[in-house]
Amino acid sequence: MSGTPIFSKLFGRSPIAPIQQHMSTCDECAHVLIPYFEAVLEGDWEKAVQSAERITELEREADSMKKNIRLNLPRSLFMPVSRDHLLEIVQIQDKLANLSKDIAGLILGRQMGFPPAVHEHLRRCVVANTNAVRFAREVMDELNDLIVTGFSGQEIEFIEKILDQLDYAEHDSDLRLRELRHKLYEIEESLDPIEAMFVYKVIELVSELADEAQTVGNRMMYLIAS
């Protein structure tokens, strides 16, 4: 059709689809943390191991996808966006899966227990951070349409609404994190110092999920602005 953007004629198969699939896998990996933490807080280590194994499986899939994208992403000068920029986005996405694996591995390796007083706060914190990851995925789901439509105003406006939701989710994760840290501080003296150190480490890793999701959104803003 005459109205079809030139680059969609040049590329019958979108080079963006594998990047979107990679983000989908990273998002799924992060979201397994919800049932994983639920099992840990309930002391059901059999279920926790099952969830941890699923996280590891998804992390490996994401890593394999990342390598394939690096090898096969077109180097053509007709790419509508920078190849290096797309590879940077993939690298950031991959951190989401890596973080999820690190969180699960740290807890499982020590069979960590969490003080009952912080259980609900921890649940909220995990959900808030994985929500941010989900919005980052929704942003990436729109990347192909953004390119195919030639960065049309309507598509940009739609993506900006999702980015606003991502910003809100990241802000919410910050609030949940502060609440969790405050609650933990209140009972800190009753905890074994070594265990307290590892609890804080887990919290730090969980909070990085929203940070990396926000970075994915920032890279999308850069694409739109450029």
Question: Long-range CB contacts (< 8 A, 24+ apart) of 46-50?
Answer: 48/107, 48/108, 49/108
SS3 78: coil
Residue 129: per-residue pLDDT: 96
Confidence at residue 150, expressed as pLDDT on a 0 to 100 scale? 62
Structure confidence at residue 6 (pLDDT): 38
Domain definitions of the chain by residue range: 13-225
Right CATH number for 13-225 from 3.20.20.20, 1.20.58.760, 1.20.58.220, 1.10.1740.10?
1.20.58.220
Which residue type is seen at 16? I
Structure tokens at 219: 């890279």
Helical ranges in 111-152 per DSSP H = 119-141, 143-148
Q: How far is CA 223 from CA 151, 190, 217, in A?
A: 9, 49, 10
Task: Please give the Cα distance from 91 to 135 (Å, whole number).
Answer: 18
- What pLDDT sits at residue 163? 85
d(CA 54, CA 32): 8
Q: Do 23 and 93 touch, CB atoms closer than 8 A?
A: yes
Spell out the per-residue pLDDT of the chain, length 226, in tens. 334 443 344 344 567 889 999 999 999 999 999 999 999 999 999 999 999 999 999 999 999 999 999 988 877 645 667 788 889 999 999 999 999 999 999 999 999 999 999 999 999 999 999 999 999 999 888 877 776 666 667 777 778 888 888 888 889 999 999 999 999 999 998 999 999 999 999 999 999 999 999 999 888 877 776 6
Compute the distance between CA of residue 91 and CA of residue 66 in angstroms, rounded to an integer: 8
Per-residue pLDDT, 168? 86
State pLDDT tens for residues 71-107.
Answer: 888 776 456 677 888 899 999 999 999 999 999 999 9
Q: What is the pLDDT of residue 137?
A: 93
Residues 6+ apart with CB under 8 A from 47: 35, 39
| Residue written as token pair 């994985």 | 130
The one-letter amino acid code at 99 reads L
Q: What is the pLDDT of residue 14?
A: 65
Closest C-alpha among 154, 151, 135 to residue 143:
151
Predicted TM-score of the model (pTM) = 0.87
- pLDDT at residue 165, rounded to an integer: 87
